[in-house]
A and B are shown apart, each in its own frame.
Chain A
Amino acid sequence: MQVEKSNEVERNIHMDLKKITEEQTSQTGLTEQISENRANGTREKGIGAKGDFKPLIVAFCCNWCSYAGADLAGTSRLSYPAEVKIIRVPCSCRINPIFILRAFGRGADGVIICGCHPGDCHYSTGNYYTRRRMTLLFSMLDYLGIEKERTRVEWVSAAEGVKFSTVMNDFAKTIHRLGENKKLEDLRCKEFPY
Chain B
Amino acid sequence: MQRVSVLIELIRERAQKLLEDGIVNRVIGWKKGEFFYDRTPAVFQASDDLSELIYDGFCSANLSKYLIQENKKDGKILALLKPCDTYSFNQLIKEHQINRENVYILGIGCPDMLDINKIRGKGIKGIQKIEENDDELIIDTLYGQRKCRREDVLLEKCLSCKGREHVAYDELVIGDLRNDLTIENEAMSDSASGKNPYEMVEKIEAMTPDERFAFWRSELSKCIRCNACRNVCPACTCIKCIFDNDRSGIASKANTDTFEENMFHIIRALHVAGRCTDCGECSRVCPQQIPLHLLNRKVIKDINEFYGEYQAGADTETVGPLISYKQDDVEPDIIMRKGGHK
Partner of A135, one of B205, B209, B327, B330: B330
- Complex contacts, B298 vs chain A, CB 8 Å: 139-140, 143
From residue A95, how far is it (CB to closest CB) to chain B in Å?
A: 12
Q: Is A136 in contact with B299, judged by CB distance below 8 angstroms?
A: yes
Partner of B257, one of A97, A146, A183, A187: A187
In the complex, what distance in Å separates the CA atom of A151 from the CA atom of B307?
Answer: 21
Q: How far is the CB of A13 from chain B (nearest CB, A)?
A: 17
* Chain A 137-149 interface 0/1 with B at a Cβ cutoff of 8 Å (1 = within): 1111111111111
Q: Is B214 an interface residue (CB 8 A)?
A: yes
Verify A145–B329 contact, CB threshold 8 A.
no
| Contact segment of B150-158, B165-173, B261-269 | B261-269
8 Å CB interface, A119-173 against B: 119, 125, 128-129, 131-149, 152-153
Known: A131-B325, A138-B332, A140-B269. A146 touches B209 (CB 8 A): yes
Contact of A142 with B322 at beta-carbon distance under 8 Å, contacts A98-B250, A98-B267, A136-B303 already known = no
Decide yes or no whether A55 CB sits under 8 A from chain B: no
Q: Does B38 contact A (CB under 8 A)?
A: no
Partner of A131, one of B205, B303, B329: B329
Write the chain A residue with the least CB distance to B214: A145
**Contact assessment for A140 and B325 in the assembled complex, using a CB-CB cutoff below 8 Å:** no
- Name the residue in A140, A142, A184 with the highest tally of chain B Cβ atoms < 10 Å from its Cβ: A140
Contact call A143/B212, Cβ cutoff below 8 A: yes
Bound CA span A188–B267, Å:
20
Q: If the complex has contacts A136-B322, A140-B295, are A149 and B336 also in contact, measured as CB distance less than 8 A?
A: yes
CB distance from A62 to the nearest CB of B (A): 15
Residue A69 lies at the interface, judged by CB distance under 8 Å to chain B: no
Q: Chain A contacts of B326 at CB under 8 A?
A: 128
Give A185 to B299 CA distance when docked, in angstroms.
Answer: 23
| Inter-chain contacts of A184 with B (CB < 8 A) | 259, 262
CB-based contact B205/A143 at 8 Å: yes
Give the B interface residue count (CB, 8 A): 48
Q: A97-B267, A142-B339, A147-B209 are in contact. Are A135 and B259 (CB under 8 A)?
A: no
How many angstroms between the C-alpha atoms of A125 and B327 in the bound complex? 9
Q: How far is the CB of B123 from chain A (nearest CB, A)?
A: 32
Does B13 sit within 8 A of A, measured CB to CB?
no
**Do B215 and A145 touch across chains, with their CB atoms under 8 A apart?**
yes
A101 within 8 A of B: yes
| Inter-chain contact B330/A183, CB cutoff 8 Å | no
Compute how far the CA of A147 lies from the CA of B216 in the bound complex, rounded to whole angstroms. 14
Please classify the interface of chain B as helix (H, G, I), strand (E, B), loop, or mixed, using the class held by over half of its residues.
helix
A186 contacts chain B at the CB level, 8 A cutoff: yes
User: For residue A48, which residues in chain B have a CB less than 8 angstroms away from its CB?
Assistant: none
CA–CA, A148 and B212, complex, Å: 12
Residues of B within 8 A of A125 (CB): 325
CB-based contact B269/A132 at 8 Å: no
A85 at interface by CB-CB < 8 Å? no
What's the minimum C-beta distance from B253 to chain A, rounded to whole angstroms?
10
B131 at the interface (CB under 8 A from A): no
Do A118 and B327 have beta carbons less than 8 Å apart? yes
Bound Cα distance A147, B59 (Å): 41
Smallest Cβ-Cβ distance to B271: which chain A residue: A97
Interface assignment of A14: CB less than 8 Å from any CB of chain B? no
Within 8 A of A (CB), among B197-212: 204-205, 207, 209-212
Whether A145 pairs with B267 at a CB distance below 8 angstroms is: no
**Are B339 and A153 touching (Cβ within 8 A)?**
no
CB-based contact A153/B333 at 8 Å? yes
| Binary CB contact string for chain B from 243 to 282 against chain A (1 if under 8 A, 0 otherwise) | 0000000100000111110110011011001000000000
Query: Is residue A110 contacting chain B, with contact meaning CB distance below 8 A?
Result: no
> Is A153 in contact with B211, judged by CB distance below 8 angstroms?
no
B111 on the interface (CB 8 Å rule)?
Answer: no
A90 to B197, CA, bound (A): 40
Chain B 163-196 against A: per-residue CB contact (8 Å), 1 yes, 0 no? 0000000000000000000000000000000000
The answer to whether A38 has its CB under 8 Å from any CB of chain B is no
B266 lies within 8 A of A148 (CB):
no
Task: Report 12 cross-chain contacts, Cβ distance below 8 Å, ordered by A residue.
Answer: A97-B267, A98-B267, A101-B266, A129-B325, A131-B325, A132-B306, A133-B322, A137-B270, A138-B332, A140-B266, A148-B335, A148-B336
Residues of chain B touching chain A, judged by Cβ–Cβ distance below 8 Å, are 204-205, 207, 209-216, 242, 250, 256-260, 262-263, 266-267, 269-270, 273, 295, 298-299, 302-303, 306-307, 321-323, 325-327, 329-336, 339-340
Closest 9 CB pairs of A and B: A145-B213, A145-B212, A128-B325, A186-B259, A138-B335, A153-B332, A135-B332, A145-B209, A142-B339
Q: List 4 other contacts, CB 8 Å, given A128-B327, A132-B307, A143-B339.
A: A118-B327, A139-B339, A145-B211, A188-B257
